[in-house]
């Protein structure tokens, strides 16, 4: 076969390509290093919540979950009632896999006294794009080798993309800027991870039927199992809670059923408050059909605090 | 395989590298194999549909060339029926069936014709039109029939423009497969530069705007008029950057190997009237319709009312080409009405206005650009809405300005930044293009800095979880 000879155009192209690539890599590393520095320097905002959850928590009781967790559990009420310090690591759009990553980050540093996992309806549902929110963990890829398996679920090429120093901070520049501003630190929008909502529902609850079966994401199921296993192995008391929904459900959710079975296997208390009567269906208790208002969160947090007390005392016996 | 994927980056590097390493006589085979692989990355079995149209049109081309008179015409019609038949089955069957169900339902008669449970083969409308242009050109005697089956297959399947164009003509593309392309520094660099610009448009602008647009158009009943206006304007820029970004990646990746594909967009939102807009938007499709449908209907040689009717028909069909939904038909019809109205205005009114206000007045130009943009935005409502009911709901709300604007930071800031970036670069290029390109090409520092900055923009602000290109569905 007659392979083409290298001509002068090729030489010039590859020489110039190397120069351009060198400057791209240099700029990527410099800008990436600056973003990393300012990212971990934040002291407020949503990103800071993940930084705090992963690297800084020292509280006795930790709450895990999604946006529902972050709007449903008020740490100050739990602390007042139990005497244990409490932090809510719940974050919008994030589910079991994120919770497992945070738990691994926490257990590297210390052993909490109690863990509450908020479980949502359809938690294990398989759907396209469900790993996208794991982008919140990208800044931790470099410093936390034990969560890399979770981040790699985002795609086969994720490790390659993460060779860029900027990529972990993609789309975060304004957030990082605001997170570093003095005025933002004074806003104090949250109470140890809890974000209060102050609206109420304008329409009555609907009667809904939950799906008995749907495609299940085995990675999410395994992550949930790992959370229970890790807590068991470290001897940390844990309970799983399905917090209330506004609408009335006439059937059981598939994910909730599976989670209940797994919890029973590990001897973990499972509290299904999906239709918890003082809250579910009450328009004053909800900001929207999935999220409690401050009034609802107060009642639920009181209930959770008493359950934590009970569970800690029974585990001590 | 999506252009905005890491797989494509590897694919492109390997195919282009092998292309220049292989002797010329083997290159067609490499490109054909690569194109098959590229297409099969979507739904492998749909390669068979492509193979069917390729075989039909390959033989049709040869038989048309060897025939004369009535037989020649019959062969062309047979080939066109085969191509349109494939389109009809895969794209329009369920749409037609739906309408039959609706009509019969009005008389209380059930429709027992079964629906097809099939996915639309990706890019079907594009490669079908490209294949049809070949047989028509052979019939018209403008293009000799291609005897090399592999080269003809490559004409239909050439991977850069296989799934979303530009829709090429045989006179422009076929002979290029016989040309021995050597590694040309200028082609490679300008091709890569065009690809980089296409990636910026897709990842930084289109996919960012898509987040807002999808949130609003997914639930139009929950949004206020002002939000729907903002979402529609964002969609105008989204679809432009999505499609022109795709076209630039396609043209750039072909240019690297030495192929010259036709330009598909030319800063359409700076058009001063609808006629100009359609000369700048999706140029390969507009000229296809002009060459093969409008002229066949009589073009400008018929009476004026007939010209208007022909234009309206062309735009209706163009709407239907985009999708099997009445929203697309109305979108096409609306643009037809715009164009006919503009032609009437030019003929009957402009001559009087021109005497009062000079046509070259800068203020008038800006006003014309804005009016054209608003009209196009209005038609995009039909294009983007998920149903006719949604479109009507959006239009009824667009004219009520009450209620708050739906926004969440920093998304809104990103969207505004992306649109400003696009507009500034397009206006500067439109007004001072020659000087900018001259300075750019003569200043190595400027060129290298621009590459670094554009890559940083993608890494910092690009959307990496974004979906496929909008026009893939057509």
Specify whether the CB–CB gap between B340 and B306 falls below 8 A.
no
Report the residue of B7, B25, B465 to disrupt the A interface, i.e. the one with the largest count of A CBs within 10 Å: B465
With 80 as the cut, is the pLDDT of residue B348 above it?
A: no
Binned at pLDDT 50, 70 and 90, residue A87 comes out as: very high
Segment A14-30 shows an average pLDDT of 95
With 70 as the cut, is the pLDDT of residue A100 above it?
A: yes
Inspect the interface and report whether the beta carbons of B448 and A19 lie closer than 8 Å: yes
Binned at pLDDT 50, 70 and 90, residue A90 comes out as: very high
Residue A70 has which token pair? 């972050």
Distance (Å, whole) CA A22 – CA B303: 64
Task: Tell me the per-residue pLDDT of B47-69, one tens digit each, with 9 for 90 and over.
Answer: 898 999 999 999 999 999 999 88
Distance (Å, whole) CA A86 – CA A75: 5
Segment B107-116 shows an average pLDDT of 83
Quick one: DSSP state of residue A90? Answer: -
Q: What is the reported pLDDT for B363?
A: 84
Catalytic: which of B127, B223, B282, B322? B322
Residue B398 has which token pair? 């667009």
Segment B387-408 shows an average pLDDT of 83
Q: What is the reported pLDDT for B352?
A: 73
Q: What is the reported pLDDT for B260?
A: 95
Q: What is the reported pLDDT for A132?
A: 86
Q: What is the reported pLDDT for B469?
A: 60
Average predicted confidence (pLDDT) for chain B: 89
Binned at pLDDT 50, 70 and 90, residue A190 comes out as: low
Say whether B322 is catalytic.
Answer: yes
3-state secondary structure chain B: CCCCCHHHHHHHHHHHHHHHHCCHHHHHHHHHHHHHHHHHCCCHHHHHHHHHHHHHHHHHHHHHHHCCHHHHHHHHHHHHHHHHHHHHHHHHHHHHHHHHHHHHHHCCCCCCCCCCCCCCCCCHHHHHHHHHHHHHHHHHCCCCCCCCHHHHHHHHHCHHHCCCCCCCCHHHHHHHHCCCCCCCHHHHHHHHHHHHHHHHHHHHHHHHHHHHHHHHHHCHHHCCHHHHHHHHHHHHHHHHHHHHHHHHHHHHHHHHCCCCCCCCCCCHHHCCCHHHHHHHCCHHHHHHHHHHHHCCCCHHHCCHHHHHHHHHHHHHHHHHHHCCCHHHHHHHHHHHHHHHHHHHHHHHCHHHHHHHCCCCCHHHHHHHHHHHHHHHHHHHHHHHCCCHHHHHHHHHHHCCCCCCCCCCCCHHHHHHHHHHHHHHHHHHHHHHHHHHHHHHHHCHHHHHHHHHHHHHHHHHHCCCCCCCCHHHHC
Specify whether the CB–CB gap between A290 and A245 falls below 8 A.
yes
Q: Which residue has the higher pLDDT, B284 or A212?
A: B284
pTM listed for this prediction: 0.86
Binned at pLDDT 50, 70 and 90, residue B464 comes out as: confident
Specify whether the CB–CB gap between B134 and B61 falls below 8 A.
yes
Binned at pLDDT 50, 70 and 90, residue A86 comes out as: very high
Q: Which residues pair with B233 in a beta bridge?
A: none
Within its chain, how far is the Cα of B145 from the centroid?
27
Q: What is the reported pLDDT for B436?
A: 83
Q: What is the reported pLDDT for B237?
A: 97
With 60 as the cut, is the pLDDT of residue B317 above it?
A: yes
Report the residue of A1, A13, A17, A137 to disrupt the B interface, i.e. the one with the largest count of B CBs within 10 Å: A13
Segment A210-214 shows an average pLDDT of 75
Q: How many CB contacts within 8 angstroms connect chain A with chain B?
A: 77
Q: Which residues of B touch A19 (CB under 8 A)?
A: 448
With 90 as the cut, is the pLDDT of residue B107 above it?
A: no
Q: What is the reported pLDDT for A269?
A: 94
Let me know if B333 is exposed, middle or buried by CB neighbors in 10 A (0-12, 13-18, 19+).
buried
Binned at pLDDT 50, 70 and 90, residue A44 comes out as: confident
Distance (Å, whole) CA B354 – CA B361: 11
Long-range pairs for B406-414 at CB < 8 Å and ≥24 separation?
B406/B215, B406/B216, B406/B223, B406/B224, B406/B227, B409/A174, B410/A171, B410/A174, B410/A175, B411/B208, B411/B211, B411/B212, B412/B212, B413/A174, B414/A171, B414/A174, B414/B208, B414/B461
Segment B289-293 shows an average pLDDT of 93
Q: Which of B315-319, B347-351, B465-469 has the lowest mean pLDDT?
A: B465-469
Q: Which residues of B touch A21 (CB under 8 A)?
A: none
Strands A248-249, A270-272: pairing is unpaired
Average predicted confidence (pLDDT) for chain A: 88
Q: What is the reported pLDDT for A2?
A: 43
Q: What is the reported pLDDT for A1?
A: 42
Query: How close does chain A come to B102, measured CA to CA in Å?
Result: 30
With 60 as the cut, is the pLDDT of residue B170 above it?
A: yes
Task: Tell me the per-residue pLDDT of A140-183, one tens digit each, with 9 for 90 and over.
Answer: 999 899 999 999 998 888 999 999 999 999 988 888 888 887 76
Query: How close does chain A come to B18, measured CA to CA in Å?
Result: 10
Inspect the interface and report whether the beta carbons of B448 and A20 lie closer than 8 Å: yes
Q: What is the reported pLDDT for B381?
A: 95
With 70 as the cut, is the pLDDT of residue B203 above it?
A: yes
Segment B345-365 shows an average pLDDT of 74
Binned at pLDDT 50, 70 and 90, residue B358 comes out as: low
Distance (Å, whole) CA B22 – CA B253: 18
CATH placement of domain A43-130+150-157+179-316: 3.40.50.1110
Task: Tell me the per-residue pLDDT of B236-278, one tens digit each, with 9 for 90 and over.
Answer: 999 999 999 999 999 999 999 999 999 999 999 999 999 999 9
Binned at pLDDT 50, 70 and 90, residue B286 comes out as: very high
Q: What percentage of chain B exceeds 70 in pLDDT?
A: 96
Q: What percentage of chain B exceeds 90 in pLDDT?
A: 61
How many Å is the maximal CA-CA distance in chain A?
83
Q: What is the reported pLDDT for B472?
A: 59
Report the residue of A8, A16, A152, A288 to disrupt the B interface, i.e. the one with the largest count of B CBs within 10 Å: A16
Quick one: DSSP state of residue A84? Answer: -
Inspect the interface and report whether the beta carbons of B455 and A24 lie closer than 8 Å: yes
Instruction: Report ipTM (2 d.p.).
Output: 0.82
């Amino acid at each position: 076969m007659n392979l083409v000879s290298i001509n002068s155009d090729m030489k010039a192209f590859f020489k110039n390509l190397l120069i351009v690539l060198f400057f791209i890599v240099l700029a990527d590393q410099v800008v990436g290093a600056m973003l990393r520095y300012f990212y971990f320097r934040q002291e407020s905002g949503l990103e800071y919540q993940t930084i705090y959850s992963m690297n800084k928590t020292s509280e006795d009781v930790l709450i895990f979950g999604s946006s529902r967790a972050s709007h449903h559990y008020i740490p100050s009420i739990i602390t007042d009632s139990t005497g244990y310090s409490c932090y809510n690591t719940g974050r919008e759009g994030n589910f079991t896999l994120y919770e497992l990553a945070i738990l691994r980050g926490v257990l590297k540093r210390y052993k909490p006294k109690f863990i509450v996992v908020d479980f949502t309806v359809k938690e294990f549902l398989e759907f396209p794009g469900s790993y996208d929110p794991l982008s919140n963990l990208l800044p931790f890829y470099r410093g936390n080798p034990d969560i890399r398996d979770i981040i790699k679920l985002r795609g086969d090429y994720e490790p390659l993309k993460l060779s860029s120093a900027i990529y972990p901070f993609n789309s975060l520049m304004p957030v990082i800027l605001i997170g570093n501003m003095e005025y933002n630190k004074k806003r104090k929008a949250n109470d140890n991870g809890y974000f209060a909502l102050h609206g109420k529902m304008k329409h009555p609850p609907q009667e809904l039927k939950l799906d008995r079966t749907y495609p299940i994401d085995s990675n999410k199921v395994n992550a949930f199992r790992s959370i229970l296993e890790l807590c068991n192995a470290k001897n940390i008391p844990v309970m799983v809670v399905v917090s209330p929904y506004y609408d009335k459900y006439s059937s059981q959710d598939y994910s909730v059923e599976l989670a209940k079975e797994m919890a029973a296997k590990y001897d973990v208390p499972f509290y299904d408050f999906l239709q918890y009567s003082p809250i579910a269906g009450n328009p004053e208790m909800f900001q929207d059909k999935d999220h409690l208002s401050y009034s609802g969160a107060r009642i639920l947090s009181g209930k959770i605090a008493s359950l934590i007390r009970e569970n800690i005392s029974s585990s001590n016996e | 395989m999506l252009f905005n994927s890491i797989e494509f980056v590897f694919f492109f590097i390997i195919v282009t590298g092998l292309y220049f390493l292989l002797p010329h006589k083997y290159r067609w085979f490499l490109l054909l194999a690569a194109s098959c692989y590229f297409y099969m990355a979507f739904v492998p079995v749909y390669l068979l549909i492509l193979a069917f149209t390729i075989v039909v049109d390959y033989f049709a081309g040869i038989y048309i060339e060897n025939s004369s008179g009535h037989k020649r015409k019959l062969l062309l019609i047979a080939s066109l029926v085969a191509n349109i038949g494939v389109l009809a089955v895969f794209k329009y069957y369920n749409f037609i069936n739906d309408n039959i169900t609706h009509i019969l339902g009005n008389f209380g008669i059930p429709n027992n014709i079964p629906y097809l449970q099939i996915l639309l083969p990706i890019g079907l409308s594009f490669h079908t039109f490209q294949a049809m242009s070949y047989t028509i050109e052979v019939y018209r005697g403008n293009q000799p029939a291609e005897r090399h089956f592999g080269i003809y297959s490559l004409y239909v399947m050439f991977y850069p423009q296989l799934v979303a164009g530009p829709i090429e003509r045989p006179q422009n593309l076929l002979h290029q497969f016989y040309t021995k392309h050597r590694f040309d520094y200028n082609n490679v660099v300008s091709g890569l530069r065009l690809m980089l610009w296409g990636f910026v448009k897709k990842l930084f602008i289109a996919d960012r705007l898509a987040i807002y647009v999808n949130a609003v158009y997914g639930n139009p009943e929950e949004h206020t008029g002002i939000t729907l206006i903002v979402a529609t304007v964002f969609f105008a820029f989204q679809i432009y950057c999505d499609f022109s970004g795709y076209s630039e990646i396609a043209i750039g990746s072909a240019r690297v190997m030495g192929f010259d594909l036709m330009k598909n967009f030319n800063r359409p939102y700076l058009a001063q009237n609808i006629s100009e807009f359609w000369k700048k938007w999706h140029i390969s499709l507009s000229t296809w319709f002009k060459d093969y449908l409008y002229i066949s209907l009589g073009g400008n040689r018929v009476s004026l009312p007939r010209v208007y009717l022909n234009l309206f028909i062309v735009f209706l069909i163009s709407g239907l080409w985009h999708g099997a939904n009445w929203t697309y038909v109305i979108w096409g019809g609306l643009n037809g009405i715009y164009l006919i109205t503009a032609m009437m205005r030019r003929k009957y009114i402009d001559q009087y206005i021109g005497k009062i206000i000079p046509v070259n007045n800068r203020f008038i130009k800006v006003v014309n650009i804005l009016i054209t943009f608003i009209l196009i935005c209005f038609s995009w409502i039909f294009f983007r809405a998920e149903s006719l009911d949604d479109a009507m709901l959006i239009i009824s709300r667009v004219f009520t300005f009450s209620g708050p604007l739906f926004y969440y930071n920093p998304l809104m800031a990103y969207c505004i930044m992306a649109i400003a970036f696009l507009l500034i670069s397009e206006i500067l290029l439109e007004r001072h293009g020659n000087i900018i390109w001259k300075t750019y090409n003569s200043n190595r520092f400027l060129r290298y800095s621009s590459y670094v900055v554009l890559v940083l923009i993608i890494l910092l602000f690009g959307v990496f979880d974004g979906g496929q290109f909008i026009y893939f569905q057509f």
